[in-house]
Amino acid sequence: MSLVPASSYRTAPALAPQRALAPPRPPGEVPKGTNLTGVLLFLMADAMILATLLAVWWTIKGASLSWPPQGVDVTTYLPSVIAITVTMSSFSMQWAVSSIRRNDQRSATVALILTAFFGVAVVNAQWYSMVRADFGIADHAYGTIYLLLIGYHAVHQALAVGALVFVGARAVVGHFGREGYDPMRAVAAFWHYSVAAWMLILTAVFLFSRH
């Protein structure tokens, strides 16, 4: 399989000589929480991208005569449905994590499928709101940054679903237990981040949409 998760280097043959020499830390093994630390650092950098997009949003909003531009109708229905869905997905994600910690495969499977379903629904709704927007990306600065913000989140949510499916499959076949579920926690951190990101985008773009 070509898609190899970062955590599977445990079996990488290149590190084998280390094993023979009994170094202080067992070969290829990284301390607990390494995956989670990596993802948290990645999210820190990621949050700076979102912060830049939001800074651009507020700067242009502050400088514009009419916001949103005339003819653009901002509805809060779909964004709110998305917000409720991502919130539910956050809870089902934690349910999955705690099930894996308890070694409860059955609950974990249900929770993971539910979370992935919520995730796909969110991506679907965002895709709909982007293609059905009554403006194009080059029509005005509002449209450009609107589509960039929604697109930023849609890409994250899609990546999160992909990572969830991959790591979730490992969880369902029993790769993780009470001690080693670091990759699962890493995916959960990414998932919760995209929930928080949507709340920020919802607030900036839809709740305080006008001057």
Partner 1 sequence: MSLTETPTEEIEGQAAAPEAEVVPPSLGGGAAANDHKAVGSAYLGFALLFLVVGGVLALLMRAQLTGPDGTLLSDQEYRSLFTFHGTFSVFLFLLPAWVGLATMVVPLQIGAGRLAFPRLQTMCLWLTVVGGGLITATPFVPGAKRIISGWALSQPIPGGANFRGDAVEYLVLGIAVVLAATVAAAANLVVTIVKLRAPGLTARRMPLFSWSALVSGFVLLLALPVLIALMGMLYVDHHYGAQLFSGFTGSRGGVPAMWSRLFWFGAYPMLWSFVILALGVGSDALPVFAGRPIADRVKAMAALGAVGVLAFFGWGSEVTNLPRSRLFFAAGALAVLAPAASVLVNWLLTLRAAAAERGRDEVRQGLTATPMLFVLGMLTVLAAGLGASAVSAAAAGRSYHTDYWQVGQQHLMYFAPATLAIAAAAHFWGPKVWGRHLSPMMGKLEVLLLTGGAHLAFLPALVLGLQNMPVQASAYDAGEGWQAMNLAMSAGAAVFALGALVFTLDVLVSVAMRKGRPADPDPWSGHTLEWTAPTPLPRHNFDRVPEVRSATPALDLRAAGTPGTPAAAEEVVGA
Q: Is residue 65 near partner 1 by the rule CB under 8 A?
A: yes
Q: Does 155 bind partner 1 (CB under 8 A)?
A: no
Token pair of 194 as six digits: 């995209």
Q: Among 3, 175, 198, 182, which residue's Cα sits nearest to residue 86?
A: 198
Choose between 62 and 106: whose C-beta lies nearer to partner 1: 62
Identify which range of 72-80, 94-102, 122-130, 137-145 contacts partner 1 by CB under 8 A.
137-145
Q: What is d(CA 46, CA 156) in angstroms, rounded to the nearest whole number?
A: 10
**Per-position x/- string for 13-32, each x denoting binding to partner 1 as judged by CB under 8 A, each - no binding:** -xx-xx-xx-xxx-xx-xx-
The token duo for 153 is 């989140």
State both tokens at 172: 């369902």
Distance CA 72, CA 143 (A): 9
Q: Interface with partner 1 includes 49 (CB under 8 A)?
A: yes
The residue count for binding partner 1 (CB under 8 A) is 48
Does position 41 bind partner 1 by CB under 8 A? Answer: yes
Does 130 bind partner 1 (CB under 8 A)? Our answer is no
Contact 160, 133 (CB under 8 A): no
Instruction: Locate all alpha helices (DSSP H) within the chain, ordered by sequence.
Output: 16-21, 34-63, 77-101, 105-131, 141-172, 182-201
Interface of this chain with partner 1, residues 70 to 129, rule: CB under 8 A? none
Residue 3 or residue 106: which is nearer to partner 1 going by CB? 3
Give the whole-angstrom CA distance, residue 49 versus residue 122: 21
Q: Which residues bind partner 1 (CB under 8 A)?
A: 6, 9, 12, 14-15, 17-18, 20-21, 23-25, 27-28, 30-31, 33-34, 37-38, 41-42, 44-49, 51-53, 55-56, 59-60, 63-65, 69, 137-141, 143-145, 148
